[in-house]
Each structure stands twice: as C-alpha cells, then as structure tokens.
Chain A
Amino acid sequence: MQALRSYRLLVTWQALRKKAYLPLMMAVQTLFSLGIVLGYPLLFPSLDRVTIYLIATGAPAISMVSVGLVALPQTVGEAKTEGSLAYMRSLPVPRLAYLVADLTVWLAIVVPGVVLGVLVGAWRFGLDLQVSPLVVPAVLMVALTATCVGYALASVLPYMLTVIITQALVVFVFMFSPLTFLPEKLPAWLETIHRLLPIQAMGEVTRGTIAPNEFPLPPGAFLTLAVWCVLGFAVTYAAMTRRA
C-alpha cells in the first residue's frame, strides 16, 4: 500500500521534472521511426516485399532500442551527476517504487512513437498488417528490456563513459543490428554475438507480432528478452541499494 502510494507520487515527480523536454523527447523518438520508414525508400528506391516489411516493423524496434539504450542512459547519468538519485535515496521510499516509477515514465515516452511508427509504415508502403494481440506484451517487453539494460549501464558506469558508450551504441543499433534486416546478412561472428545480445530478440518479437504473417515468432525470443530484462533490473536495483 505504502509502496503503491510512493509509486504514484514518484511517477508524478518524475513526469513533472521531465515535462519540459518530455514532448520533445517523444517527438524526437517518433522521428526515429518516421525517419526510417520515410528515409529508407529514398536510399533504396526499389525495395522487395520482405525488405519493406522489415523496415516497417524494424522502425518501431529501433526507436524503442535507441530510447532505452541511448537517451535513457544519458538522462539517468545526468540525474546521477546532479544528485537526483542520491536525494531520492535519502527519502523513505522503497527503491523498487522509485525504479518502477522511472521506468513507467520512460515507457510513456517510448510507446506513442512505436504506435505512430507502425501506422505511418503501414500507410507509406500500403501494408495490410495483421497485427497479433501479442503485440501489447511484445512492445512492453521490448521497451522494458531496453530501458532496464540502459538503466543498468547508467547505474554502473561513470557519466562520461555512459555518454561515450551510448554514442557508439547508436551506430551499432542502426547499422549493425538485425532490426531492419535479417541476422543472416551479418558476418558469422557478428551473428553469433547478436544471438547472445538482446537486440536481435527485440527485433524478432516486434516484427513477429506486428506482421505475424510475414515473420514467425521464434520460440526463444521472449525468453531471451526476459533474461536480459531481469539482468538489467537486478544490476540497476543492486547499484541503487548499495551503500558505499
């Protein structure tokens, strides 16, 4: 009961603190989706059917991953530097409530861009998407995993290192992660790495639920995400409760 009350108050606190740049963040990450959907056909004027579906379903995945692994760690790193985390830690608030409240606000930032990205993709390419009902848990799981892993990065690393690593991640996510293309296109060694990382599973779960007729949902993908999600959450929680 107390935890629930704390959670509600902390969501209000975090949303109010972010309100100045919240719409901007939502707009920027929506532009991620739109940029991919509208920009790829400019680069490659003739796209085959599979590629079109990959782009339309990969765009929302990229926007979720880039918020979780890039925008979030940078913002959380900043909050750590300005002492927000330390201040919250001095209040009689369950650590879990704080973390879950912050994740809630981040999910609220991510989801509109995903929905808009899918709609624009379907419109741009004239796709008739047979969206699976599993899309709701899929999007939540992908967004939650991305935010948990991003949070863990920012919790463990010093701020400057977080910034540098997230910059590198932008390139890695956009160019070398099987989100808008299939993993078979990658060199074998990178394909192996991606089998262990959560990004490939994020792409599989997103396209497997937005366009289930085109892409089968690999049975282990949700499990891979769950493992990374729990891992990210546990690392963050441990960093947050640790007393130096």
Chain B
Amino acid sequence: MLLEIENLTKVYRTGVRANGGIDLSIESGEVFGLLGHNGAGKTTLVNQVVGLLKPTAGSIRIDGADMVADPGLARRLCSFQAQSQVPIDGLTPRQAVELVGQLRGASKADVRRRRARLVDALELGEWLDIDAARLSGGVKRLVAFAMAAVAPGRLVMLDEPTNDVDPVRRRLLWQQVRALADEGAAVLLVTHNVVEAERSVDRLAILDGGLVIAGGTPAELKAGLGAELRLELVIDPQAPELPVSPFGRPVVPVGNRLMVGLPTDAAGPAVAWAESLQRAGTVEEFTLGPATLEDVYVALVGGLEVRPTEMEESFDASAA
C-alpha cells in the first residue's frame, strides 16, 4: 500500500475530537474517496497527511516512511488541493500553475508541457493569461486542481475539487483525476458529494464523527445495504403523517423525501403501494430505481433532515 494510516487521532487544544482512530490504506493507481458531512473530520485528516496538523496519536506512512516524523518529506510526496480557494489573485493561471510546478521540483520544460496538457484537457485556454482576481470561483477551482496535478506527488489529495465547477467541466475534471491514478499516483478524494463519488472512486470510506463507519468499493457497500432497489417518495408537506413501509426495509427521511429500500422482487407491490399513497394525496410523486451509494450513505449516516442542503447538492449533481 502506498498510503497507510493507522489509528489516526486528532484532538484539538479546545478539546474537540476531529479524528477518533482512523485506519485507511490506499494503493498506487487507485482513486479513493473519503465521504462525510461537513465536520466529519475529512479536512483534518488530509491536513495531517500533508503535515499542516500534527496528529495526537496514530501513524501516517507513505511507502513505509513516517510522515508524522518528517512533514517535509510528506510535502514532497503529496500534492494537495485544499478545500478553500487557493489565493492566487495577481497571478494568471499560467503563472500560478507553472510556478507551483517548479516549486514542487519539476523542470521548467516538464512543467510547461504538463501545464499545456492540463489547460487543454480542462478547457481553460481562454483564461490562461487573465489575472486570477477576475476569474470565477469555478475556474479558480480548476486552476487549483491544475496546480495540484502539474507536478503530482505519489499521493494527490483533492479536497472538494468540484465545488463551484460547472457540470461540463466537472466531467473533464473527473477524467483528469482518473488520469492521475492511471499515471501511478494514489488519489485521495475528499467530498460530500456522494453521487459524484460513486462514479469516480475505486474504493471509499465513509467518515462520521471522526470515525470510519464503512469502507469498500461502491458495489460492496451497496451489497451491504441489503436492498437492490430504492423507492423515493416525495411527501406532500400537508400530509398528516409519514407513510409506513410494508416492506420492513430501511426507510430514511431526507427533507421532504422518503427513501425506501427494497429487494428486486418487491418492485411490483412497491409501485402499487406508492400509487395508492399518491391517490390518497400523501405522496406527490415517486421514483423507483436501483439503490445507489447515496442510499448507503443515508442509511449509515442517517438523520439528514437536519442537514438537507448537502443532499440537495447531491441530487442536483445527479440531475446534471
């Protein structure tokens, strides 16, 4: 394994426990997703790997070398796109990407070649020589990605790389994320966008309250849900009470929606049940489809009524 994290724990001086004993490993050539809500401990974890934060306990190894003891080596081996916008006002994307590539130790010629390839692949050409202060948030995000990818380390960590990026360029970005792994890097992708993660990662871990609560490939995690189908009901806000599923499967409310897990052979009765609810006015509309990673996520993390915005984003992304 390229990256091996064992029992990683971070307790801030304020007493807040951000990571509570995380075990993770990532192989070269793999895109690994780290999913979780805001505050789940994802950013704390990547900041520890790159040496910006010191773990309270546990170990981080890359190729067997201790990153906690040698944060300088960690920075050489990891390239990193932070969650916040990269502060490059005053620089053009060309200058920012090429300077960072050289600061990461690559030769000027290599940096130019890779910068040109990334700018083409992400269709950033028209902004190449414009001051970053005049770029939109999405374009800046893509430039930040190019800065992390221009001279990638053995491990590339991307913290919410698609935030603010338009749907078309998101696809281009995912292709480049995959290209990094194909070139041999391990990619650690931090996101709360479950739908995108399902399409893009080889394996993932779901983080909640600073702990890994599930891990595996998207298929393994979905198999663990025990429901091949998902019935999604949009509840009438005026409905006096939530419908009770006759299928005995996980029923999870998300905002004004109800997610019902089903085995494949229950498809017919489920549609009939949903139609009866629609006729009774309890349900406005419904959809039946294969279970997704999102269902796994919702079933595991649960309690999303209080945090509906993130799921809205996931739905928006799936619609896009």
Chain A residues engaging chain B, CB cutoff 8 angstroms: 2, 5-6, 9-10, 12-13, 16-20, 79, 82-84, 86-87, 89-93, 243-244
Contacts and interface: CB of A to CB of B under 8 A. Distances in A.
Contact of A243 (B13, B52, B105): B52
Interface in B32-72: 50-54, 71-72
Interface residues of B toward A: which range? 20 to 34
A140 B87 CA distance: 29
Interface of B is mostly: loop
A92 B52 contact: no
Interface string B139-180: 000000000000000000000000000000000000000000
A63 to B, nearest CB: 24
Interface in B76-124: 76, 80, 82, 84-91, 95, 99-100, 102-105
Contacts of A9: 99, 102-103
Interface in B7-40: 12-13
A11 B87 CA distance: 16
A92 B104 contact: yes
A60 B13 CA distance: 44
The 10 closest A-B CB pairs, nearest first, are A17-B90, A243-B54, A92-B75, A92-B76, A84-B87, A82-B87, A90-B80, A83-B84, A90-B50, A16-B91
B223 to A, nearest CB: 37
A243 B76 CA distance: 17
Contacts of A243: 51-54, 71
B110 to A, nearest CB: 14
A19 B91 CA distance: 9
8 contacts: A13-B91, A16-B95, A83-B85, A86-B82, A87-B86, A92-B75, A243-B53, A243-B71
Contact of A16 (B54, B71, B90, B103): B90
A83 B47 CA distance: 13
B100 to A, nearest CB: 7
B104 A17 contact: no
Contacts of A82: 87
Given A17-B88, A83-B84, A243-B71, A12 B99 contact: yes
B103 A10 contact: yes
B87 A90 contact: no
A8 to B, nearest CB: 9
B103 A90 contact: no
Given A84-B87, A244-B52, 12 more contacts: A13-B99, A17-B88, A20-B90, A83-B85, A90-B51, A90-B52, A91-B75, A93-B75, A243-B51, A243-B54, A244-B12, A244-B53
A92 B131 CA distance: 25
A100 to B, nearest CB: 15
A12 B99 CA distance: 8
B295 to A, nearest CB: 35
B270 to A, nearest CB: 49
A18 B84 CA distance: 20
A91 B82 contact: no
Contacts of A92: 72, 75-76, 103-105
Contact of B103 (A79, A86, A89, A93): A93
A13 B99 CA distance: 7
A91 B105 CA distance: 10
